[in-house]
A and B are shown apart, each in its own frame.
Chain A
Amino acid sequence: MTFRAFLAIVLCKLLRLVSRLLHRGGTAMPGRWALRVCPGLLGILAKDVKTVAITGTNGKTTSARMIEQAFADQGKSYFANRSGANLLSGITTEFVMNSTLSGRCRKEYAVIECDEAASVSVFPQLRPQVIVVTNLFRDQLDRYGEVTHTLANVRAGIQGAPGAKLCLNADCSLTASLADDLKNEAVFFGIDPGACPPGEKSELSDAPHCIRCKTEYQYDFITYGHLGAFRCPRCGYRRREPEYAVTQVVSQTAEGSGVVLCVRGESRLAEVNLPALYNVYNAVGAVAAVTEMGLGADAGIAAVEHFKCGFGRMENFALGKAGAKMMLVKNPAGCNQVLDFLCQVKEPFALVVCLNDRGADGTDVSWIYDAAFEKLKACGGRLGQIAVSGDRASDMAVRLKYAGVAPKALHLERNYEALVQWIDAQERPVFIIPTYTAMLELREAVIRRVGGAEFWE
């Protein structure tokens, strides 16, 4: 190791120490400075670590927590970037904190979630053993650009990690196309046609045209969004048979989903410990990753059955008479899935929507019109008051008005302390759907009232 790398490690550890003394997270900043001193630092530290990396638009954090659970259960020596700092800087910080001053990593394995745009700079240094790509949807166009640009980024990143085995979502035509030209070995995961009630064909598909020849896809089955059994009538590009398949969704409740998982031809039952169909995808992807990392499918299945995600992903809080559940939303596809979940709630509930437009949320809030808030009409009388908050609360209120919500059912509350009080005063269960930075702030306000873990814990 060079003297430069040593300096960078010392600097990073010092900055982290100072951050924590100041009660800050210090998740990305120390790594950013360390990289200035030694740009190739991550490559040096990650060299001897067996890493599984998770990227894609939606489900990165949840999938990473599921995978991490398997490593914890098996008593493996591992670490993970739990704080959500998933750019080169944050990932570097995490590696430094798990390394000695001489640059030797103290852990055998790493579970790393990686921002899809950052994958191009991260993967060539990280050289993961397994890379999971969960899905690709349109997301924060001001930051990522078109979804095909994101795909190109991920592809370029994987090109820098030729030894990585890929776990790809077979049902996402964009993600699955990574196996077309990359030489990496690839396995697929997905939800088989007929395994669950079919989703509706969305007019706002993020990938209506063939990635190879631009002809409109035909679908034999859709789970949601553009995910499903796609095929191109012209060039023949189609969904591959996944090695890791959900062949049946047996039950779907507010607590979780029961599924039949077929791993390389062998079927087993699994109870996914989080509700909604998108978490079924996260679960089958996690089982694929855990198995390909050599821990065995049983370890993967056990992990998805008892892991806890927290951190704003279906996270429960002891607020109000009947509890509150926080569900992070970032883009139309994810938001539609959350809205579908709300439509299935049987009991009366209250709703909180917090819309921010800072860098990590996407500065363009137009996407709220691509999310089908009209679905809320299906909740009828079960949906009571809707509190609206965040930097762009009034835009959210207008959106809900145009979705058919009566303005008198809207409660605009910009102050988070007051909002938490409002939630705590509700008789009904409360569902909170914040964007990323709104989630961080609101979570802090909630924790000040009822307690809970800091974001980096």
Chain B
Amino acid sequence: MKLKICHLYPDVLNLYGDGGNIRCLTQRLRWRGMEAELVKLPIGSGESLAGADLIFIGGGQDFEQQVLLGDLHRGRDKELCAAIEDGVTVLAICGGYQMLGAYYETHDGQRCDFIGALDLYTVGAKKRMIGNYMFRCADALGGMTVVGFENHSGRTMLGSGAEPLGKVLAGFGNNGSDGTEGAHYKNVFGTYSHGPMLPKNPDFADLLLRTALERRFGRAELEPLDDALERMAHDEMCARLEREKT
């Protein structure tokens, strides 16, 4: 069994060790005797998303945003929307997550149009939301607790067409006010969780793999792995955030 994993814009959306997520996905497939084909799609790449089982989009710096938007609006946006409607599994983090929404409005009112695949938008604020945080995924997704690090000034608001990925247990999440974190639509998982997110949230990593495998092969049996180190890192951060709350 083999999954095709596409890393979108690894050349500019590569902040905060987001590449670690790709390493985690491919390793967890290989440790189980499955294969992963990794395709990198930098700016200007003519290669299509066709046949992608899992698309990863990370976060980036403001400096390169115009370069990115130019490329996005040359057709990558429509292709990405089509893949999402088709049920391809997508993990989008921070800037990549915001990019799937309708638009980003800066705090002084300038609007930047995004691809509108998800019913959400983001408004810039002056104060950044920075720190370790955790959230609990929706029950339908398994209800696992995810720990990560958030660093964003954008406040994301969900419309009725997108479900929150989870509920904030500690930290800010989407906007610091409504207690939601991330978004879930079809097989798209959007989140503010850097960390990188997947290595120390093995249950969430396996959720992505299972979703992609089920779509491709109609079934997905994931052998359990020895995640003792991963769970230790995860549980320590949970405990620390609980301690800091009190």
- Residues of A near any B CB (own CB < 8 A): 141-142, 146-148, 203-204, 208-209, 214, 216, 363-370, 392, 394-395, 397-399, 401-402, 407, 410
Contacts and interface: CB of A to CB of B under 8 A. Distances in A.
The 9 A-B pairs at the shortest CB distance, nearest first, are namely A369-B17, A369-B20, A366-B17, A394-B233, A366-B16, A146-B61, A394-B232, A148-B63, A364-B149
Contacts of A368: 17
A397 B229 contact: yes
A401 B24 CA distance: 10
Interface in B203-226: 226
9 contacts: A148-B61, A204-B14, A363-B130, A363-B131, A366-B149, A366-B195, A366-B196, A402-B20, A407-B226
Given A366-B18, A402-B199, 20 more contacts: A141-B15, A146-B61, A146-B62, A203-B11, A209-B63, A214-B66, A363-B131, A363-B132, A364-B149, A366-B17, A368-B17, A370-B14, A370-B19, A395-B233, A397-B229, A399-B199, A401-B230, A402-B24, A402-B27, A407-B226
A397 B233 contact: yes
A405 to B, nearest CB: 11
Interface of B: 10-12, 14-20, 23-24, 27, 43, 61-64, 66-67, 130-132, 149, 151, 194-196, 199-200, 226, 228-230, 232-233, 236
B16 A141 contact: yes
Contacts of B27: 402
Given A364-B151, A366-B16, A367-B17, A398 B67 contact: no
Contacts of B229: 394, 397-398, 401, 407, 410
Contact of B151 (A142, A208, A394, A397): A142
Given A141-B15, A208-B12, A370-B17, A398 B63 contact: no
B47 to A, nearest CB: 16
Q: Which of A364, A366, A370, A402 has the most CB of B within 10 A?
A: A366
Contacts of A141: 15-16, 151
Nearest to B43: A216
A363 B62 CA distance: 21
A214 to B, nearest CB: 5
Nearest to B132: A363
Contact of A398 (B43, B131, B233): B233
Contacts of A394: 229, 232-233, 236
A136 to B, nearest CB: 12
Nearest to A365: B149
B84 to A, nearest CB: 26
Contacts of B228: 407
Contact of A204 (B19, B61, B199, B233): B19
A332 to B, nearest CB: 8
A173 B154 CA distance: 29
A310 B12 CA distance: 37
B203 to A, nearest CB: 14
A371 to B, nearest CB: 8
Contacts of A204: 14, 19
B63 A367 contact: no
A142 B153 CA distance: 12
A363 B27 CA distance: 27
Contacts of B10: 203
Contacts of A402: 20, 23-24, 27, 199
Contacts of B151: 141-142, 364
Contact of A214 (B23, B64, B199, B236): B64
Contacts of A397: 229, 232-233
Contacts of A407: 226, 228-229
Contacts of B194: 364, 366
Nearest to A371: B17
A397 B19 CA distance: 17
A209 B199 contact: no
Contacts of A395: 200, 233
A362 B110 CA distance: 31
A55 B195 CA distance: 29
Most chain A CB within a 10 A radius of its CB, from B20, B229, B232: B229
Nearest to B64: A209
Contacts of B195: 366
A97 B238 CA distance: 45
Contacts of B232: 394, 397
A395 B229 CA distance: 8
Nearest to A401: B229
Given A364-B151, A367-B17, A402-B27, A146 B63 contact: yes
A146 B149 CA distance: 16
A369 B67 contact: no
Nearest to A396: B233
Contact of A209 (B23, B67, B149, B230): B67
Nearest to A143: B130
A369 B18 CA distance: 7
Contacts of B64: 208-209, 214
Contacts of B61: 146-148
